[in-house]
Structure 1
Amino acid sequence: MVNTNTASKKSNKAPNIKAALSIATSALLGTSVLTAGVSQAEEADEWQFDSAFLLYSETDRVSATEAIIAGTKVFDNDEILSLKLTVDALTGASANGAVVQPNAQTFTRPSGSGQYVTPAGETPLDDTFRDTSVQLNGQWTQPLSDNITGSVGGHFSKEYDYLSLGVNGNLAYDFNKKNSTFSMGLSYFQDTFTPEGGIPKPHSSMLVGDSSSPEWDGEFAKTRTGKSDDKSTADILLGFTQVINRRMITAFNYSYSMVDGYLTDPFKVVSVLNRNGLAQDYIYESRPDSRVKQSTFMQAKYHFDDSLLNTVADVSYRYMWDDWGINSHTIDTRFTMPVGAASYIEPHIRYYQQGAADFYQPYIIEEQAPLGFVSADYRIGEMTAVTVGAKYGVSLNDGDELSFRLEYYRQTPTNAGFTELSALKGQDIYPVVEAIIAQVSYSF
């Protein structure tokens, strides 16, 4: 796909579709190095910088701030160097997976040191959620022949309990007078988890009691399997881009992803209830150690004529499915509309619908202790989500651009067919998650 979600600061340049496609393929492989303006050719030996500051805030839950600085330089022979630095900080409360109860619940913190209490009728949230990450991405793109463009890149990400290293490469082949392009991309990531408190033993009970007792450390250690674990991810992406006419361009992609290793969330538990629905125990979740994901993606961009104020419509659809039983549909729509001679507004609507994983259960009954995989994480449950908002951008002196984005996000988990027990009647088992997203961007 060609990324033209935001206006380039040098919009009078001719589109460099081949370079843009190569960079966009890297983005779909999870190594995006640009935030805006990649669809336009820049003057050789000049750097273009894109910066952004984003605030994401869920109601009574997680808040995140993100700072991004990305730089792109085009050399005389159409070689492109792209670099990106991202710094994230997350704070707030995160759902631990346990189900809401009509009475107060006590949980042990992931470190094994200290406990917290969730009041009756409230979703259990661990309010000690803290994280800071630094991510670096780099990409080198260059023509290999008149019709072939190659690109290689690297990825580094570090959090206090997580390290990710990755490489990628892709090729783009132009034909049909450069109006058609086939592309293929490969990437590989190696990640290491070192969660606070270690790796929980699947299905083991959360230890709850006096953490100052002499036996505590030994009993807590029995619920752990080690201090760290790894996972690897290999992705392949096949793409086709077609320029229909001077106003319209389309893109079609297929991706295949294989993930192996530790895929369980070490901070999530599952409530074990009696027949009345009252919690008797909390066990650590267990997920498969492999996952195969596939997706198809279709996108069309259309530039309307002057009668519609030069509006650019960008519509995309993505379907994803995997061997965990999850499938999802995503429809994303943007309209970029000029406002006066030097500014634009971009309304945005995104709809997402997801089915539950085969092993998803919001809780389990104590007579039905799990023998296999189980997780109560709402993120792999059945849900719908809607994002609505708009972006406003204005061109400044020397072609610089300043933009503001404000969006509202609403995620609605739903019952995937589980019977509601008596003690849970009237309780909010599937709470709605709402968030505000605000971003300020500056390109220069």
Structure 2
Amino acid sequence: MAAINKLRKLKKIILIVCVFALAKSYAQDSTKVYKKRVLETTEVDFLTSYYAQDGDNAAVSGGIGTEELTDVTGTFVVSIPLNDDDVLTIDAGVSAYTSASSSNIDPFDDGTADPFQASSGASSSDLWANLTGSYTHSSDDRNDIWSAKASVSSEYDYFSAGVGGSYTKLFNEKNTEVSVNANVYLDTWNAIYPTELRPFGNNGNGINNRLFTENTITGNPNYNPIFNEFQDEGRNSYALGFGFSQILHKNVQGSLALDFVQQEGLLSTPFQRVYFDDVADSFIDDFQLADANERLPDSRFKVAVGGRLNWYLNETVTVRTFYRYYFDDWGINSHTASIEVPIKITDKFTLYPSYRFYNQTAADYFEPYETALSTDEFYTSDYDLSEYSANQFGFGVSYTDIFTKAHIWKFGLKSIDLKFYQYDRDTSFSSSIITAGFKFVMD
């Protein structure tokens, strides 16, 4: 009997040990299985926009002429959790535009040439396509985040390939965040020049070209532009950025950013015309023949420093502010300030009124229509490089359903965002854009 009792006690001890071992093993497995995932399930964002602009300072026609353009964009962003820690994101987009301005690269293809009217040439429309893939890894404690990405984009006269990466560190119980990111873009132009300049390039026959023999040149008949084809059609951009974010109060968060960009290669836009003050004007129909095309330095260094301050006032209203100062070695200095005030009107609907102010000085090489000189080394009449101020007013509304009641196939609709922005410069330029975004999550 004593032996039996000892055996029973031994069985109990063994059973207790097994239970504890099993419990420990289960706890370890539970920790592994139920660790908080960076992304719980696959998410799909569909983004689309319609953009329209107009103005009277087209760079294609030397600082005069229509800037009319419309653009429609569609983009899919698919984020896929590979495991608890890693996320793969694929971003694919297409943009189609029609442009009265760029159509005037060749204004002589039909009818009467006029810088304020669109022609029907091939350059009046184009398609831009982009594909970006990114991979993000988070540490077990979610305090370290690494990411890498690669991208390609293409349109009729331009191709770009890029790679980049970033590292983010959170500490101080995730109240403080620092980050660094770097990107490299290697671009190639397929240079397109204004029609009237092409005969004066390599292997051209100059004034004997049929454009001039079959049309009457008015004004100065001795048309003889300054034109040399670009030998290097590559453009490389190198970007380095630093970020710092801090929760200052339970209702206040601030962040700072510092960015550097170095560009090298063909920074001129080959098809943008320039008219000189010291050269007599030549015309075909109502279109003035270019004295030259844009010439800019083959390097540019940019610096931007900015900050954000977000203040959660209450459950209804949040205030988001932003300021950035920018300068480069082309002589541009700019200030950007913006404010957005999200207003939560129900648990599902939020309104987004916003305002943005922008001001910049002119680049050293900018000259308005017929003010540059033929003896200048560099010159442009692109009003994006001019001195100007701009105001942008925006309004948006978002719908959020965390329970994703609406479905399309296996995906539940999580949110809808609609926004409208009106942008006006103190030149003649104005634009508007409508954007829509739809977020779906896989059930």
Q: Same fold by TM (over 0.5)? A: yes
Residue 152 of structure 2 is aligned to residue 156 of structure 1:
yes
Counterpart position of 1:211: 211
- Shift in Å, 1:55: 0.3
Task: Name the structure 2 match of 1:54.
Answer: 49
1:389 to 372, 394, 408: 394
Q: Is the 8 A contact 1:187 1:235 kept in 2?
A: yes
Q: Quote the residue 2:382 is aligned against.
A: 377
Identity of aligned residues (%): 21
Which residue is 2:305 aligned to? 296
The structural deviation recorded for 1:43 is 6.9
- The alpha carbon displacement at 1:134 in A equals 0.5
In structure 2, give the amino acid aligned to 1:437: I
Matches within 5 A, 1:316-327: 316-327=322-333
Task: Please list, as runs of the form range in 1=range in 2, the aligned pairs for 1:26-425 lying within 5 A after superposition.
Answer: 44-59=39-54, 61-94=68-101, 109=106, 117-118=113-114, 128-144=123-139, 146=141, 147-197=143-193, 210-211=210-211, 213=213, 223-225=227-229, 229-273=233-277, 282-306=291-315, 309=316, 311-364=317-370, 368-396=373-401, 397-398=404-405, 400-413=414-427
TM-aligned CA deviation for residue 133 of structure 1: 0.5
Q: CA deviation at 1:403?
A: 2.4
Whether the 8 Å CA contact 2:181–2:241 is kept in 1: the answer is: yes
Distance 1:56 1:220 in 2: 38
**Equivalent-residue separation in structure 1 for 2:186 and 2:196 (angstroms):** 21
Match of 1:21 in 2: none
SS of alignment partner, residue 384 of structure 2: helix
- Counterpart for residue 435 of structure 2: 439
Distance 2:224 2:93 in 1: 36
2-structure distance, mates of 1:280, 1:46: 58
What is the rounded CA distance, in whole Å, between the counterparts of 1:224 and 1:274 in structure 2? 19
Q: Per residue, is there more strand in 1 or in 2? A: 1
Distance verdict in 2 for CA 1:76–1:245, change over 3 Å: farther
CA 1:200–1:118 in 2, change beyond 3 Å: closer, same or farther?
closer
Instruction: After superposition, give the CA deviation of every residue in 1:296-315 in whole Å (9 maximum; x if it has no partner).
Output: 01011222224xx2x22211
Deviations 1:105-160 (A, max 9, x none): xx7728x96786227xx5x8777432211111121111257432211111110111
CA distance in 2, matches of 1:364, 1:109: 20
Mapped contact 1:200–1:225 kept (Cα < 8 A): no
Verify the 8 A CA contact 2:232 2:265 in the aligned structure 1: no
Offset of 1:268 from its aligned partner? Answer: 0.9
Other structure's SS at 2:381 match: coil
How has the CA–CA distance of structure 1 residues 42 and 130 changed in structure 2, closer, same or farther, with 3 Å as cutoff?
Answer: farther
Report SS of the residue matched to 1:140.
Answer: strand
8 Å Cα contact 1:198-1:228 kept in structure 2: no
SS of equivalent residue, structure 2 residue 101: strand
RMSD: 3.6
**What is the CA distance between 1:436 and its match in structure 2?**
2.0
* Consecutive unaligned residues in structure 1, runs of 5 or more: 1-40, 97-106, 414-431
**Which residue identity is paired with 1:393?**
S
Distance 2:290 2:271 in 1: 16
Alignment coverage as a number of residue pairs: 364
Deviation string 1:353-373 (CA, Å, 9 cap, x unpaired) is 11100011013458x423311
Are the counterparts in 1 of residues 278 and 374 from structure 2 also a CA contact under 8 Å? no
- Could you list the per-position Cα deviations for residues 12-45 of structure 1 after superposition, in whole angstroms to 9, with x for gaps in the alignment? xxxxxxxxxxxxxxxxxxxxxxxxxxxxx97745
Determine the C-alpha separation between the residues in 2 that align with 1:344 and 1:212: 60
What SS is found at the alignment partner of 1:315? Answer: strand
Contact 1:52 1:68 in 2 (8 A): yes
Larger fraction in helix? 2
